[in-house]
Amino acid sequence: MVSNSNRRADRIRLRAPVILMVLAATAVPVELRPLGHPTVDFGIYASDVVANVMGYAPVGIVLGELGLLRAVTAAAVMSAFAESSQLVMLHRTSSAIDLASNVIGAFLGASISAHWRIRSPSFRINKWNTLFAATVAFALILLVWATVGPTPSMRGVTSPGNLEAYWKLDETGGRVAFDSSGDGLNGTFSTEPKRVVDVMGRSVALDGAKDYIDFGRSKALRLVGSMTIGAWIKPSSFPVDDAAIVSQLHGDFGYQLDTTVDQGPRTIGFKLTNACGGLMARYGVTPLVVHSWYHVAGVYNAEERTLDVYLNGKLDNGFLVGPVTGTQHSSRSAVYVGKRSDLEGYQFAGFIHDVRIYSFALTDTEIAAVMRGEVIDRVAAHRVEGSSVNSRRSVGHSTEQCSQCAVFSEGGDEKVPAVAATLGMLVAFACVGLWPSAGSLLYLFPSFAAGLFLLPATASALPSFNLWMIPLVSFAGGASLAVSVRRQNDPDYPDH
């Protein structure tokens, strides 16, 4: 027998297909969501049953080397873990039928493995693949930290709101749209824009196809409280759908001031995501026409829970969609003028001038002042934010409230569980190569710790209820590798 002190990494092999074990153990969630009110579904869906049986049959083949009873038990535990993960991490409910069909698939796979004595492939651990695993693990952590996006701005919530961005769009040339707010949130034109001079002074003309302005991702514009967006526009044509004036919409999250046909005729639209992850939108009542200048504005008052639109300095409230909650959920996307961030066909065609974003709700008087070109750069000290607009509830106000309000995750977060599981597996792999004499249980602690490294980067992006799952998923990734380790002195070492 080889003593622990003489064990070397090149005498250790991984017996089972590790990636398969990781996927089975964690069920790599599609999307993180808060707990909400999940239920257990007992419905039978033929396509899901077939997919589950086929998906877990290979798992049964791998686990079949443990024996039929152990294989089925292990598959049941993994499936239960996967369904529990869905219950707390996914938007869909868990299914008892999924658990049963997974076990059936594993039973069939284990039976096949027992009958034909299928031996899973293995490969030897050496210093090169150990170094590779450690390098990729480090790169994954850096990737998460680099791509998670800006944290939300609490301006206007825990501190007074102000003028966050002010783009006059009166440059004489070049592809830079300068910010006059003092915050330096300059933007970049997608192409050299056409400049025009008319009654509004110098403006930019967007063609409704390739022209737009990208202002990038910034904490200052990822607001959670009150906000006001205003702009001068002169449409030259309208698309079939919405025409985005200022947009941070990405998927189901973000805000957008646009011209829209959602309620029939072309009107102003101001759309945000409420605290429940649903749409809250206010539509105007005055039809818009091409080749006319309009000053348009959308005002969200978080304290009063009101949503208003203004046309040429006058309140233009029409239909209100969804409950207006006390916070909004802006996305981590960039802010654009003239298009949506994630979809084509929502481009604005026409002239745009004097675009502003505030982190507080402007009053009727302040909206009129902004339309006249006055600069209001902070909330007035003598008033409570939004006090002059707190009577808007009578105009199309929805009294519906969210049954379960929480901060939702968004597009891109579906990668986090997969990254966590893979990270745990890679860290365990590197530990096996670096410390071959250590017991398998000791490899699990670094895997769990690796998941903790992801928390600071994801804490502002994911629901707090889901955060504790991340190190557990990385732990599961490490565990899936630990059970596949075979040492040279083991009875079932591949060379025996």
- Residue ranges and CATH numbers for the domains of the chain are 9-149+405-487 (no CATH), 160-372 (2.60.120.200)
Tell me 401's DSSP state. -
Residue that has been written with the tokens 């001031």 in this structure: 257
pLDDT in tens, 164-201: 999 999 998 899 999 998 889 999 999 888 988 888 88
462 with 409: CB under 8 angstroms? yes
pTM of the model: 0.68
377 with 359: CB under 8 angstroms? no
How confident is the model at residue 396, as a pLDDT? 43
Rounded Cα–Cα distance for residues 189 and 13 (Å): 55
Helix or strand holding residue 223 (H, E): none
Rounded Cα–Cα distance for residues 138 and 156 (Å): 37
Cα–Cα nearest to 32, from 84, 85, 110, 99: 85
How confident is the model at residue 3, as a pLDDT? 41
How confident is the model at residue 40, as a pLDDT? 47
Cα–Cα nearest to 367, from 301, 318, 298, 268: 298
Rounded Cα–Cα distance for residues 144 and 454 (Å): 7
CA 284 vs. chain centroid, Å, equals 30
Cα–Cα nearest to 226, from 323, 370, 322, 330: 330
Rounded Cα–Cα distance for residues 167 and 230 (Å): 10
Rounded Cα–Cα distance for residues 160 and 386 (Å): 12
Residue that has been written with the tokens 């509004």 in this structure: 200
Q: What are phi and psi of 276, to 5 degrees?
A: -95, 0
How confident is the model at residue 91, as a pLDDT? 47
How confident is the model at residue 488, as a pLDDT? 53
How many other β-carbons are positioned within 10 Å of the β-carbon of residue 417? 27
How confident is the model at residue 403, as a pLDDT? 42
**pLDDT under 70: residue ranges of the chain:** 1-45, 47-48, 81-95, 117-123, 148-150, 154, 156, 158, 379-415, 440, 459-467, 486-496
Contacts of 77 (CB under 8 A, 6+ apart): none
How confident is the model at residue 419, as a pLDDT? 82
Cα–Cα nearest to 492, from 23, 16, 107: 16
Query: Which amino acid appears at position 118 of this protein?
Result: I
Instruction: Name the β-bridge partners of 237.
Output: 349
Q: Are strands 94-95 and 40-41 parallel, antiparallel or unpaired?
A: parallel
